[in-house]
């Protein structure tokens, strides 16, 4: 009997988990095809979630009803807020995860959702009729029919692993490659290319001299990713330290000995690697003036004997890897359990998908994750979430779901991919977001939870709690903006911080703008402390942080909001998707090519396409008016 689902998801990685979970919870029957059900949620590289900008994505996924934040919170063995010494726009949560427990938690979560069926198989062909997806062919189960197909195959499409001059077919250590999908899409007219990523060696924990290394502990009061996490039971696992060490010039010389057998330098690897997460051999060449490179020794789990060497990604010969590692401080007698390797795989340049992540050529076919040229678990999960939501909405004949650049980092991610495409693994950074002071990780719930609620992915209790908190924040900002503190009440605090006394009363909001003063200190003043609003805001640490940030950065926030308002008119100027730009005479040749390739939905989107000039936009505006 032929299997039939509303949605079929190919791949059980971070994109596939989010896509399957969200589509099922929105009322669709889902078939999840994975070559090995035990590999669902398996972390191919570093067992860590979040980090700079990536932590923002996880918080946004959670606010919309995704599951990555919950999985990270329940399996995290170290939590840290990065960039605390800088402004709140770049604060980024990160956790080191227990690799085995994360995968187990992901599998349990999917098994708990009744509308998901996990199918152990390999997809090898897509079935299309009249430019619309109708199913997928698998090696063991034959045809599996569906109304929407989400391809989230990670590094497995024609995957090839390299260590030195040895190459092995596979998408991850000990796992087979996926063959057939690329060839199937190629026949349909899709453009594809090759990318590569890498992973460092794994070391035996007990062979490392930890006593001479620099310890890096987690936060004493860690913050969870998910609004669902019970703070009274968080963190739920024992917390472990990471450790820091360094390479040096002698180590670089050893590594250089292996360059003649490097698959990167000999041309064995054709795919482009990640610019922002280079291999150790890449670092030596590109940053030849640097005396040393930092290495982080990170545990793979509570009971694991494996240590991940963050910063030492490599595909050099195994014997060179070990020789170099044994010259690193603390690793003089280290045992290498598994050498590092590079994996090369197929991807499909993302100008071929729309902002919903549905492909432009085939209706009902969605791409999510590394197939779109991205790197990282978080970028993949964000795409899986959006693809899953839109697949469900399309089947249910409901309006599509698209996030703009001013609403979320997820919006920035997808907008960048579609408009600029990529020929190297794309990684999210805070610098990619124009409105990063508005898109902070701490206010993801406030920005996006309403949307998650409207999609049916956030429960009413959580949404009501959000509204209650939002009212408290608004009321508090109004109170602090209109309540003045006389000089005698604040002067002692000011003097203790080396600040001049007040000459006249100042509002709490204005006082809060001083970097030396915290809102908590001002609220602690006897007269203010006794007021009901102060008691309310003090009892809600999250609301207190939101109020303080909004007061301190009020001018900058207003400036970004004004910028969004000015550009909003261009986002509202819609362009027909059927428009043939080749017929518009006065457009530049490059403008015609890029616009026809991307098929922007609005003038705002057209303005962000690389190669489209201001004069092209003027011509387009005149043409649309006619």
CATH number of the domain bearing residue 210:
2.40.30.260
Q: Is residue 598 in a domain?
A: yes
CA distance 567 to 545: 29
102 shares its domain with 161 = yes
| Statement to judge: residues 37 and 155 lie in one domain | yes
25 shares its domain with 170: yes
| Domain assignment of residue 537, given as a range | 460-556
pTM for the whole thing? 0.95
Confidence of residue 331 (pLDDT cuts 50, 70, 90): very high
> Are 185 and 218 members of one domain?
no
Indicate if 351 and 330 belong to the same structural domain.
no
Question: What pLDDT, on the 0 to 100 scale, is given for residue 174?
Answer: 86
Domain match, 28 and 170 both: yes
Query: Is there a single domain that holds both residue 18 and residue 167?
Result: yes
Is 563 a domain residue?
no
Please report the pLDDT score of residue 191 as a whole number. 96
- Same structural domain, 300 and 319: yes
Last residue of a domain, one of 283, 318, 342: 342
520: in domain: yes
What percentage of the chain reaches a pLDDT higher than 70? 100
Task: Give the pLDDT mean for 589-612.
Answer: 92
In a domain, 356, yes or no: yes
Residues 32/117, Cβ–Cβ less than 8 Å: yes
Task: Looking at the structure, tell me whether residues 162 and 19 fall in a common domain.
Answer: yes
What number is the average pLDDT over the span 314-329?
A: 96
Using the 3D structure, point to which of 401, 423, 454 is the last residue of a domain: 454
Mean per-residue pLDDT of the chain: 94
Q: How confident is the model at residue 1 (pLDDT cuts 50, 70, 90)?
A: confident
Give the list of residues 6+ apart from residue 509 with CB closer than 8 angstroms, or none: 477, 480, 481, 551, 554
Q: What is the mean pLDDT of the segment spanning 378-388?
A: 98
The two three-digit tokens of residue 42, written as one number: 């398996």
pLDDT at 52: 95
Segment 201-254, tens digit of pLDDT: 999 999 999 999 999 999 999 999 999 999 999 999 999 999 999 999 999 999
The reply to whether 241 and 359 lie within a common domain is: no
Q: What is the pLDDT of residues 58-82, one digit of tens each?
A: 999 999 999 999 999 999 999 999 9
Same domain, 390 and 527: no
Question: 13 and 118: one domain?
Answer: yes
pLDDT over threshold 80, residue 184: yes
Question: Average of pLDDT values for 601-619?
Answer: 93
Out of 342, 363, 395, a domain closes at: 342
Concatenated DSSP letters of 294-322: EEEEEES-SS--EEEEET----S-HHHHH
Burial 61-99 (b: 16+ CB within 10 A, else e): bbbbbbbbbbbbbbbbbbbbbbbeeeebbbbbbbbbbbb
499-541, pLDDT tens digit by residue?
888 889 999 999 999 989 999 998 888 888 888 888 899 899 8
Res 527: pLDDT = 84
Domain CATH number, residue 424: 3.50.50.60
User: Confidence band (pLDDT; 50, 70, 90) for 271?
Assistant: confident
Q: Is residue 561 part of a domain?
A: no
**For position 548, which CATH number holds?**
1.10.10.1800
How many domains does the chain contain in total? 4
| pLDDT at residue number 107 | 98
Of residues 517 and 8, which shows the higher confidence score?
Answer: 8
Q: Is 166 a member of any domain?
A: yes
């Amino acid at each position: 009997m032929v299997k039939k689902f509303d949605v079929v998801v190919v791949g059980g990685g971070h994109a596939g988990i989010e896509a399957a979970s969200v589509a099922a919870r929105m009322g669709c029957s889902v078939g999840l095809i994975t070559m090995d059900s035990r590999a669902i949620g398996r972390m191919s590289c570093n067992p860590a979630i979040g980090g700079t900008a990536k932590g923002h994505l996880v918080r946004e996924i959670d606010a919309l009803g995704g599951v990555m934040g919950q999985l990270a919170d329940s399996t995290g063995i170290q939590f840290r807020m990065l960039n605390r010494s800088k402004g709140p726009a770049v604060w980024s949560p990160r956790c080191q995860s227990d690799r085995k427990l994360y995968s187990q938690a992901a599998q349990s979560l999917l098994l708990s959702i009744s509308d998901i069926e996990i199918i152990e198989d390999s997809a090898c062909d897509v079935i299309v009729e009249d430019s619309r997806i109708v199913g997928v062919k698998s090696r063991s189960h034959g045809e599996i029919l569906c109304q929407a197909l989400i391809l989230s195959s990670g590094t497995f499409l024609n995957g090839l692993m390299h260590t030195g001059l040895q190459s092995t077919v596979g998408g991850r250590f000990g796992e087979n490659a996926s063959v057939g999908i690329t060839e199937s899409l190629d026949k349909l007219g899709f453009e594809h290319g090759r990318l590569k990523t890498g992973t460092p060696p794994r070391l035996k924990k007990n062979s490392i001299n930890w006593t001479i290394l620099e310890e890096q502990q987690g936060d004493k009061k860690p913050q969870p990713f998910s609004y669902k996490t019970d703070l009274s039971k968080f963190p739920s696992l024992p917390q472990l330290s990471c450790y820091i060490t360094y390479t040096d010039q002698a180590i670089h010389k050893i590594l250089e000995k292996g360059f003649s057998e490097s698959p990167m330098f000999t041309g064995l690897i054709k795919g482009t690697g990640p610019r922002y997460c280079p291999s150790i051999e890449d670092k030596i060449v590109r940053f030849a003036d640097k005396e040393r490179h930092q290495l982080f020794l990170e545990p793979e789990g509570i009971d694991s004997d494996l240590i991940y060497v963050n910063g030492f990604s490599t595909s050099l010969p195994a014997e060179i890897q070990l020789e170099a590692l044994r010259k690193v401080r603390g690793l003089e007698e280290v045992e290498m359990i598994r050498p590092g390797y590079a994996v090369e795989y197929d991807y499909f340049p993302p100008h071929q998908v729309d902002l919903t992540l549905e492909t432009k050529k085939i209706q009902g076919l969605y791409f999510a994750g590394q197939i779109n040229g991205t790197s990282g678990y978080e970028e993949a999960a964000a795409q899986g979430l959006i693809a899953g939501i839109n697949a469900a909405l399309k089947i249910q004949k409901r309006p599509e779901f698209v996030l703009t650049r001013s609403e979320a980092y997820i919006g920035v991610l997808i907008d960048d991919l579609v408009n600029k495409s990529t020929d190297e693994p794309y990684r999210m950074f805070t610098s990619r977001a124009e409105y990063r002071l508005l898109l902070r990780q701490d206010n993801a719930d406030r920005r996006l939870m309403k949307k998650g609620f409207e999609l049916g992915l956030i429960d009413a209790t959580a949404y009501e709690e959000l509204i209650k908190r939002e009212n408290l924040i608004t009321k508090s900002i109004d109170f602090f903006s209109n309540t003045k503190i006389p000089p005698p009440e604040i002067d002692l605090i000011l003097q203790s911080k080396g600040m001049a006394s007040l000459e006249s009363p100042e509002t709490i909001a204005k006082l809060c703008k001083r970097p030396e003063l915290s809102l908590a200190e001002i609220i602690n003043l006897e007269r203010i402390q006794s007021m009901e609003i102060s008691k309310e805001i003090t009892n809600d640490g999250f609301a207190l942080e939101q109020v303080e940030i909004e007061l301190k950065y009020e001018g900058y926030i207003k400036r970004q909001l004004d910028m969004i308002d000015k550009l909003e008119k261009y986002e509202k100027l819609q362009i027909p998707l059927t428009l043939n730009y080749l017929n518009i005479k006065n457009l530049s040749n490059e403008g015609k090519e890029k616009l026809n390739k991307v098929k922007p939905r609005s003038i705002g989107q057209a303005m962000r396409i690389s190669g489209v000039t201001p004069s092209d936009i003027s011509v387009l505006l005149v043409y649309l008016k006619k």
